[in-house]
Chain A
Amino acid sequence: MDKKKSDELIFANKELAFQNEEKEKRAAELSIANKELAFQNEEKEKRANELSIANKELAFQNKEKEKRAAELVIANHELAFQNEEKEERAAELIIANKELAIENQRKEKRAAELSIANTELSFQNKEKEKRAAELGLANIELVFQNEEKGKRAAELIIANKELAFQNIEKEKRAAELKIANKELAFQNKEKERRAGELGIANIELAFQNEEKEKRAAELIIANNELAFQNEEKIDRTAQLEAVNKELESFSYSVSHDLRAPLRAILGYAQMHKDKYESLLDTEAKRLMGNIIGNAKKMGQLIDDLLTFSRLGRKELVKIKILMNEMVENICHEFRNGEGHTKIEFRIQPLIPAQADSVAIKQVWVNLISNAIKYSGFKEKPIIEIGSEIKGDEIIYYIKDNGAGFDMRYINKLFGVFQRLHSEDEFEGTGVGLAIVQRIITKHGGRVWAEGKVNEGAVFYFTLIKS
């Protein structure tokens, strides 16, 4: 019996030894599994670290890309592409996270199984309780680590959300950039339009330039035409000068040849008078007197005409004329003449001029003698002579309070042989003012007059200020 009991104990011991061996094996496997888990955890930490670095890298790259996006429109495409890449990466991370989560779940399951196994083991082997307790602690540690990893995974999820948010931001930014691009494209179009407008304006300008060139060409032609016309005018002037010379020589020779028969008329009339006056009655004497008087008058006309024609031929010799001296001398001579003592000359300061002194003296003589002639009948004849500067002209005037003239006949005043008074009123040949006009015109000046019947006249002439 004892032997049977001893055998049973031996067997039980063997059984226990076997079970212990099995448990030891199982513990060794668990230890290996734990090491494996620890290794996997380390790997996951590494992976998480890498992800963190990668995220930082991404954040940095995003900033870089924002900068880049702001600067370059083209870079947006790149960014968009990179964003896609990142989305892909994020998607991959999400997948990796999911995988991690699955693995964690698996590990939790496994841990739960191990916990059950441990409880079982503690039941089965109190000896091994300590070990099991240690394993429990290790498991608790693992659980804690798993929780840590779960936390970490949650953090990664948040980081992913953050990344997704950043991606959205970037998409927004990209959209903004698109709008900016559109804006730029619009501005480019505007610029193109403007360039088009400028192109049109350039064409317009080119056209205007052509027009101007055409105009310039026309002007050149017009200038040539003018030059030609000027030549024509010079020719014409030369012809006119020739005709004028001819006319002057004609008038000279007419006057010259008229003098001979006139001299004969006067001569014979005088001889007749000398020889036969004593035989003539009053009427015969009167008739003979008229013949002589008219012949003398004709002589005067011829002399005046000659003087007039001489003016056309004579070259002007311009010198400085002291007008006051010249005019005072002339007036002095006139004052000494018969019946001129009652005339009051009022000579104002006269501006000196550059002119032909012989000709200008003739002008003053003619104007002053005219003034005397037409005012001499007055009780108190006053003749005023003065001058003033107006622009580039010196205006001289001579004013009298004599017979004056009717302004209606002003156009006849300066004509040759034109008279506004009868010979009975005032004698004269009608050449004096024509001579004045001719001299002044030849000097480049002007002549005009103002008058009122019985109140007097003012004669003006101008000389160019030197």
Chain B
Amino acid sequence: MNREVQILLVEDNASDAEMTITALQKNNLADKLLHIKDGAAALDFIFAEGKWSERQIENKPKLILLDLKMPKINGIEVLQRIKSDERTKGIPVVVLTSSKEDPDIKKCYELGVNSYVVKPVDFIEFQTVITELGLFWMIVNQTP
């Protein structure tokens, strides 16, 4: 279980996850993608704990796609942990949410989110947004 993870998708909604993965696949960006379904498991992976204790924390993903509404530990808490830890705060985190009306937008930016994206209802638009995100963060963006 030591394969390289370039994109970590933290999403509890299976449909959204599948659509996201489908969109990324179309541009061959989903090969090194890991889908985790809740916040607690995501933190285990990121900080190499529990199930992921054998993982090297330094092998950081190039992008974390983070849903906000999740059971157990929600997206905000996950974001806070990532951005307040020196080892992980450099990982680009893009928050995906269902509505631009979300009151958590402001909080996300205060916590240092790299991008905040509203998932379009229309699938064609959705695909476009996800593809652009993937391409930007995986290919255009340069991490330190």
Are A266 and B15 in contact (CB-based, < 8 A)?
no
Structural contact, B99 and A263, CB atoms closer than 8 A: no
Q: Indicate which residue in B18, B99, B101, B124 contacts A270 across the interface (CB closer than 8 Å).
A: B124
Q: Which of A74-82, A99-107, A252-260, A327-335 contacts B (4 or more CB under 8 A)?
A: A252-260
Q: Identify which of residues 109-142 in chain B touch chain A, using a CB-to-CB cut-off of 8 Å.
A: 119-124, 126
Q: Is the CB of B15 within 8 A of A264?
A: yes
Q: Which residues of A contact B16 (CB under 8 A)?
A: 260, 263-264
**Number of residues on chain B facing chain A (CB within 8 A):** 17
B15 interface neighbour in A256, A263, A299, A310, Cβ under 8 Å: A263
0/1 string, B2-21, CB within 8 A of A gives 1: 00000000000101101100
B98 contacts the other chain (CB 8 A): yes
Known contacts A267-B126, A299-B122; A259 and B98 CB within 8 A of each other: yes
| B22 adjacent to chain A (CB < 8 Å) | yes
Bound together, the chains give a CA A299 to CA B126 distance in angstroms of: 13
Q: Is the C-beta of A269 less than 8 angstroms from some C-beta in chain B?
A: yes
Q: How far is the CA of A252 from the CA of B99 in the complex (A)?
A: 9
Asked if B102 is an interface residue, CB under 8 A from chain A, the answer is: yes
B122 near A260: Cβ-Cβ < 8 Å: no
In the assembled complex, which residues on chain A have CB atoms less than 8 Å from the CB atom of B126? Answer: 263, 267
Least CB distance, B10 to chain A, in whole angstroms: 15
Interface of A is mostly: helix
Q: Are A267 and B15 in contact (CB under 8 A)?
A: yes
Contacts of B15 in A (CB 8 A): 260-261, 263-264, 267-268
Asked whether any CB of chain B lies closer than 8 Å to the CB of A306, the reply is: yes
**Contact check: which of B98, B101, B102, B123 meets A271 at CB < 8 Å?**
B123
Partner of A259, one of B19, B22, B99: B99
Q: Is A296 in contact with chain B by the CB < 8 A criterion? A: yes
* Complex CA–CA separation, A17 to B101 (angstroms): 182
Residues in chain B near residue A255, CB distance under 8 A:
99, 101
Nearest B residue (CB) for A295: B121
Interface code B36-75, partner A: CB below 8 Å = 1, 0 otherwise?
A: 0000000000000000000000000000000000000000
List the B side residues contacting A271 at CB < 8 Å: 19, 22, 123
Pair A252/B101 contact, Cβ less than 8 Å = yes
A262, CB-defined interface residue at 8 Å: yes
Bound-complex Cα distance A228 to B102 (A): 40
Bound complex: CA A259 to CA B19 (Å): 14
Are A256 and B98 in touch, CB under 8 angstroms?
yes
Residues of A within 8 A of B18 (CB): 267
With A252-B101, A260-B13: A269-B122 Cβ-Cβ less than 8 Å: no
Quote the shortest CB–CB distance from B100 to chain A (angstroms). Answer: 8
Known: A296-B122, A299-B121. A267 touches B98 (CB 8 A): no
Residue of B nearest to A299 (CB): B121
Distance of A261 Cα from B98 Cα, bound (Å): 10
Chain B residue nearest to A262 in the complex (CB): B121
* A 387-416 binary contact with B (CB < 8 Å = 1; else 0): 000000000000000000000000000000
Nearest CB of chain B from residue A38's CB, rounded to whole Å: 150
CA distance A263 to B67 in the complex (A): 15
Inter-chain CA distance A264–B13, complex, in Å, is 10
Of chain B, the residue at the smallest CB distance from A256 is: B99
- In the assembled complex, how far is the CB of residue B24 from the closest CB belonging to chain A, in whole angstroms? 13
Query: Complex formed: what's the CA distance from A445 to B123 in Å?
Result: 40
A29 to B101, CA, bound (A): 164
Bound complex: CA A264 to CA B99 (Å)? 15
Contact B99 A266 (CB under 8 A): no
Residue of B nearest to A302 (CB): B121
Q: Beyond A264-B16, A267-B15, A268-B15, is A257–B98 a contact (Cβ under 8 Å)?
A: yes
Closest 5 CB pairs of A and B: A264-B15, A270-B123, A299-B121, A267-B19, A267-B123
19 pairs of residues in contact across A and B, judged by CB atoms under 8 Å = A252-B99, A256-B98, A256-B99, A259-B99, A260-B15, A262-B121, A263-B15, A263-B16, A263-B120, A263-B121, A263-B126, A264-B16, A264-B19, A266-B123, A267-B123, A270-B123, A270-B124, A296-B122, A306-B101
Given contacts A260-B15, A264-B15, 14 further A-B contacts (CB under 8 A): A257-B98, A259-B98, A260-B98, A261-B15, A263-B16, A263-B19, A263-B121, A267-B15, A267-B18, A267-B123, A268-B15, A270-B124, A271-B22, A299-B121
